[in-house]
Structure 1
Amino acid sequence: MERVLIYGGTGGIGRATARALRARGYPLHLAARDAAKLEEAADHLGDTTISAGDVTDPGFFDHATREAGERLGGLVYAVGTINLRHLPRLTAEDVEADFRINALGAFLAIQAAAPALKAGAGEAGAGVVLFSTVAVAQGFPSHASVAMAKGAVEGLALSLAAELAPQVRINVVAPSLTRTPLAAAITGNETLAQGIAQMHALQRLGRPEDIAALAGFLVSEEAAWITGQIIGADGGRAMLRTKG
């Protein structure tokens, strides 16, 4: 199996996806900001190389791709933001930062890795997974900036899935609220968390492993005929209403 490059693989959904892919036998290359967390994750996972850097630095993507190798079996961009503010409190800088981290980062990651993904594609194609949010399909107050950025991620995925086929498959996982460090400001308030959980048909919030199971599948050869899809892992939130 060819190595999979994971941006943001040291915590939350990214770390869970790294575990899911290692369980499938994939060697990994993790790219994130915190060198100590990268080293700890690599030691824990095994057969894992690392690159430390920041996705707001455009040069980081070429660097990480070079260190990952000339052939890649997949790419996961698990970097994101949860910037929830009402319209009057959003600044242009907030919106630009959300776009840069979520959408532009995903674009630059794929652009840098495309030659290595094509080289390592094999018969099943190299699998790329990006992350959106249920808030693109559902309109939620205070989500304007992050929903706009993640909507751009979905558009990017569809365009590049067409452009890079058949060697590269690109899919998007769109979670609802998940108990991750990034979401701790919300999920740490258990009363609030339980209230939001009750809005889901499955009556709970997501776990990183729920999202990672789907992401790992989409990277793998089992998803060899799946590309250009936006798939909800959201406890039914986007499509189901359980109360009248």
Structure 2
Amino acid sequence: MKTVVIIGGSKGIGAAISNSLLETHKIINVSRSQPELMHQNLTHYACDVLADELPEIEKVDSLIYCPGSINLKPFERLKIEDFKNDFDINFIGAVKAIQKYIPKLKEADKASILMFSTVASKLGMPFHTSVASVKSAIEGLVISLAAEYAPKIRINAIAPTVTDTTLASKLLRNDRQKEQMIERHPLKKYLSPEEVAEMASFLISEKSASMSGQIFEMDCGITTFKN
């Protein structure tokens, strides 16, 4: 049974990924909050990825970094601290986790790393300056590390559009906002965390053995179709 370390697997997309893999993988969740689900294949470490030392883990086949932020403000209202905080959560935390577990990943057979970007890195949208910038840094990290660790470790990212999680709750506060979000997307929908979890499961599996250094857009058509 392969071991998947999920940073931030107690809520949102991370929890959906954990739930989708639990029956077939050993899941090690590293997050500040306890997962709601209990399972014999799930181990939880209470840890703030930015402030604490990450736990020692004996075996790591896949690493998934889920923490993120949606800090939407006009550029002139963003403080330098906003950019720093978003960069820490999205990028520095990912780098810290990868540097911690890369020795174990190098020991594994057919290892993989999965990170998260955003459609805002490709589609210019008002008030997305900070999140688009830091997620663009993630995309650079993915491509560079994938080249550096090929063929031993595959590294990819998913760039989702709005997903129905607590993190995006301000964008989906009521029925009117939800309907407007649906209408903005050419496929007339936004994402569920379970959909993203299905893609994540695929990208750490041997079914995607030929894919590395890629950013997979789950965009419901918003970045490529004219609506």
Tell me which interval the TM-score lies in, with the shorter structure as reference length: over 0.9
Tell me which residue corresponds to 2:31: 32
Secondary structure of 1:6's match?
Answer: strand
Which 4+ runs in 1 deviate beyond 3 A? none
CA deviation after TM superposition for structure 1 residue 169, in Å: 0.5
Question: Structure 2 regions of 5+ residues with no counterpart?
Answer: none
State the distance in 2 between where 1:209 and 1:105 align: 24
Tell me which residue corresponds to 2:174: 189
The structure where helix makes up a greater share of residues is 1
The Cα offsets for residues 199-241 of structure 1, whole Å up to 9 and x where unpaired, read as 1121011100111110111011111111000001121111111
1:6-21 aligned within 5 A: 6-21=6-21
CA deviation after TM superposition for structure 1 residue 175, in Å: 0.2
CA deviation after TM superposition for structure 1 residue 91, in Å: 0.3
Tell me which residue corresponds to 2:2: 2
State the distance in 1 between where 2:40 and 2:202 align: 20
1:77-156 aligned within 5 A: 77-120=65-108, 122=109, 125-156=110-141
Q: Are the aligned partners of 1:210 and 1:233 in contact in 2 as well (CA < 8 Å)?
A: no
CA deviation after TM superposition for structure 1 residue 194, in Å: 1.4
Aligned length: 227
TM-score (norm 2): 0.96
Question: Structure 1 regions of 5+ residues with no counterpart?
Answer: none
Which residue identity lines up with residue 233 of structure 1 in the other structure?
Answer: M
Which residue identity lines up with residue 168 of structure 2 in the other structure?
Answer: A
Secondary structure of 1:83's match?
Answer: coil
Q: Are the aligned partners of 1:171 and 1:230 in contact in 2 as well (CA < 8 Å)?
A: yes
CA deviation after TM superposition for structure 1 residue 46, in Å: 3.0
Q: Are the aligned partners of 2:22 and 2:42 in contact in 1 as well (CA < 8 Å)?
A: no
State the distance in 2 between where 1:146 and 1:3 align: 30
CA deviation after TM superposition for structure 1 residue 164, in Å: 1.2
1:226 has 2:211 as partner: yes
Percent identity over the alignment is: 39
State the distance in 2 between where 1:150 and 1:15 align: 21
Which residue identity lines up with residue 159 of structure 2 in the other structure?
Answer: A
Tell me which residue corresponds to 2:224: 239
